[in-house]
């Protein structure tokens, strides 16, 4: 995969090195050129000085061919801006951001951003999300994925029971504006709802149309 990593601090450098070792094409962007010294000796990707939300810098980094974009600086505003530019301006389908301050978690959820929050094992968690192949993965239990996504227009007006799949997909919680909801089968879904649920890997393609890009 072609992967762009914004931020070469402790998390970014570890993430970039891990992905590089696995054979991916990795480009790392950081505004501080000395930050690249953190990259491991096994890193064989590209480094680029600049801001991760600067369009010219992103063009130089090859964002139009990027499969994955990870914004992992220690500044939430920078990660948020970079993620939104990558997703909305350049159409990168798989965008992951690091959430440094948990207070901002609701903002990330309302924007439908895939994120990792915390200070330990962050790089490992990001790699798991990248390997999942889509931007909604939270965790996995066997062949069941725990997912979080923003509901697309195809979910609007449907009841929970209409979209759930017997032994294949279940909705556990909804975030609608400031309200958190534990739904029942008759709960009516709305486009823009943040949906948390469980889906079997072999049923993911059936659920994917309900996920807003």
Annotated domain spans of the chain: 2-133, 139-210
Instruction: With cut-offs at 50, 70 and 90, classify the pLDDT of residue 71.
Output: very high
User: What are 150-169's pLDDT values in tens digits?
Assistant: 888 999 999 999 999 999 99
Per-residue pLDDT at 205: 82
Q: How far apart are CA 36 and CA 210, in angstroms?
A: 40
Per-residue pLDDT at 127: 63
Residue written as tokens 């999300």?
129
Per-residue pLDDT at 164: 96
| Residue 106: C-alpha distances to residues 74, 109, 176, 178 (Å) | 18, 5, 11, 9
DSSP 213: -
Per-residue pLDDT at 120: 43
Q: Domain 2-133 adopts which CATH fold?
A: Rossmann fold (3.40.50)
Residue 59 has pLDDT above 60, yes or no: yes
Q: How far apart are CA 87 and CA 85, in angstroms?
A: 6
The H or E element containing residue 55 is helix 55-60
What torsion, rounded to 10 degrees, do the Cα atoms 126, 55, 57, 62 define?
A: 70
Per-residue pLDDT at 83: 92
CATH of the structural domain 139-210, one choice from 3.30.390.50, 3.90.180.10, 3.30.1360.170, 3.30.70.1450: 3.30.70.1450
**Are 70 and 52 in contact, with CB atoms under 8 Å apart?**
no
Instruction: With cut-offs at 50, 70 and 90, classify the pLDDT of residue 63.
Output: very high
The structure's pTM equals: 0.60
Residue 179 has pLDDT above 50, yes or no: yes
Per-residue pLDDT at 136: 57
- Please give the mean pLDDT across all residues of the chain: 85
Pick from 76, 64, 56: nearest CA to 4: 64
Task: List, in order, residues 6 or more apart from 178 with CB less than 8 Å away.
Answer: none
Residue 213 has pLDDT above 90, yes or no: no
DSSP state string for 3-42: EEEE--SHHHHHHHHHHHHTT-EEEEEES-GGGGGGS-TT
Question: Looking at residues 31-53, what average pLDDT do you find?
Answer: 92
Pick from 95, 84, 90: nearest CA to 65: 90
User: What are 91-124's pLDDT values in tens digits?
Assistant: 998 888 888 776 777 777 777 777 777 544 455 5
């Amino acid at each position: 995969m072609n992967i762009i990593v914004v931020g070469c601090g402790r998390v970014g450098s570890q993430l970039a090195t891990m992905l590089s070792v696995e054979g991916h094409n990795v480009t790392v962007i950081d505004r501080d050129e000395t930050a690249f010294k953190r990259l491991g000796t096994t890193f064989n990707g590209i480094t680029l000085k600049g801001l991760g939300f600067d369009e010219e810098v992103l063009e130089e980094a090859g964002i139009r061919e990027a499969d994955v974009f990870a914004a992992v600086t220690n500044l939430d505003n920078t990660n948020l801006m970079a993620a939104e530019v990558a997703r909305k301006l350049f159409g990168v389908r798989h965008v992951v951001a690091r959430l440094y301050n948990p207070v901002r978690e609701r903002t990330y959820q309302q924007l439908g951003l895939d994120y990792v929050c915390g200070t330990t094992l962050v790089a490992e968690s990001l790699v798991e999300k990248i390997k999942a192949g889509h931007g909604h993965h939270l965790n996995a239990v066997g062949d069941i994925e725990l997912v979080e996504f923003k509901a697309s227009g195809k979910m609007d007006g449907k009841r929970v029971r209409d979209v759930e799949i017997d032994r294949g997909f279940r909705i556990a919680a909804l975030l609608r504006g400031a309200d958190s909801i534990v739904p029942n089968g008759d709960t009516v879904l709305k486009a823009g709802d943040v949906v948390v649920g469980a889906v079997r890997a072999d049923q993911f393609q059936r659920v994917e149309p309900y996920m807003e890009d």
